[in-house]
Structures are given as C-alpha cells and as structure tokens.
Amino acid sequence: MNVDEIKKLVEVFQESGIDELEVNWGEGQTIRMTRHPAPAESNGVPAALPSVVQPVQVPQAAPPTSGSVSDAGGGKDAGSSPDEGLVEIRSPMVGTFYRAPSPESPPFVEAGSRVEKGQVVCIVEAMKLMNEIESEVSGTVVRAALDNGEPVEFSQPLFYVRPD
C-alpha cells in the first residue's frame, strides 16, 4: 500500500460513520484507525477529545511608575491582577489551531465573546482530522493565546476565559 492509497483510506474513514477500521495487507502490514464515539455531530466535523481546563495564575503587572494614573478603588483589591482568576482552555492534542471553520468564516469566538460550557471555540487539525474544541466553562473570552494557523502542542493554552 503506498502513501496515496493510505491517504485515500484515511479520507474514506473520516467521511464514514464507522468508529474503527483495521486493514491488513502483505506480511505483517496493518493499519488501524479508531474514533472515539461521540454525541451526534452538528456539522460533520468529528468531535474532539475534551479540552483541558485549568485555572491560571498570571504574574502581576509591575506597579505604576510615577506620573501614571492608577485606579483608586475601581472595585478591585489594590494588589489584584486583571488576569487573576482566568481559566485556560487548553488543547487536548497536537495539531494546527484554527479560529474559524473555514478561511471565509468569522472566528468562533473573539475577545469579549460570551461562551457557554460545551460551545465550540476553535478547531485543532490533527492528521487531516478537524477536531472541534469546546469550552469547558461558561464565561467571557479575554483573549486567544494563538493566531490562526499556528501549530499547537498538547495542553497548550488556546484561550483565556473569565468564568461566571
């Protein structure tokens, strides 16, 4: 089996509804593909592994220098950081980060967007499979950690969310 035949086999597997496929050919040559069963897929894109969510402790910013304006009693403790209490949505796999379902589409979420637990926030492409990454927390997206098309590592932060 050559590379083109293997690619075609992967495409057929992706487009099918089967969860597991094993192909044996020649002496001791085997390809096995598995997909974890997931709830009904909304747009034909395989569901992703659950994303890893961890609270974030971001180092505090440097204190204001003389001549700068400080927030006197803006409702926060004097020593609190604006990033304190954020939750990271982390990648469950190695791949390529995409903020939108296609190049012509708007991003799933932007800074300031409200997200609900289970809402798709991005796609991580791994081995030609498009994996939807869902938020594990409800809240407001503060910022994205990556730009569209950047490589992403396992457990790397994708978004920072201020939980409700």
Report yes or no: 98 and 107 within 8 Å, Cβ to Cβ.
Answer: no
Give yes or no: residues 56 and 136 share one domain. yes
Can you give the pLDDT at residue 106?
A: 95
Four-residue CA torsion sign, 149, 154, 160, 163 = positive
- Rounded to the nearest 10°, the torsion over CA 110, 119, 141, 87 is -150
pLDDT tens for 33-50 read: 777 544 444 454 444 445
Can you give the pLDDT at residue 70?
A: 41
Residue 15 lies in a domain: yes
Can you give the pLDDT at residue 68?
A: 41
Q: What is the CATH number of the domain that holds 156?
A: 2.40.50.100
Can you give the pLDDT at residue 17?
A: 72
Mean local confidence (pLDDT), 46-59: 48
Give yes or no: residues 125 and 153 share one domain. yes
Give yes or no: residues 90 and 138 share one domain. yes
pLDDT tens for 1-31 read: 777 777 787 888 777 777 777 777 777 777 7
Mean local confidence (pLDDT), 56-77: 45
Give yes or no: residues 103 and 139 share one domain. yes
Looking at the structure of the chain, the number of domains it has is: 2
Give yes or no: residues 29 and 93 share one domain. no
Give yes or no: residues 89 and 149 share one domain. yes
- Strand ordering across the sheet containing 151-152: 129-134, 120-126, 95-98, 151-152
Give yes or no: residues 116 and 152 share one domain. yes
Q: Which residues form the domain of 10? A: 3-34
pLDDT tens for 104-152 read: 999 999 999 999 999 999 999 998 899 999 999 999 999 999 999 999 9
Give yes or no: residues 28 and 84 share one domain. no
pLDDT tens for 68-86 read: 444 444 444 445 566 788 9
Can you give the pLDDT at residue 81?
A: 63
Give yes or no: residues 30 and 95 share one domain. no
Give yes or no: residues 28 and 56 share one domain. no
Can you give the pLDDT at residue 40?
A: 43
Can you give the pLDDT at residue 31?
A: 77
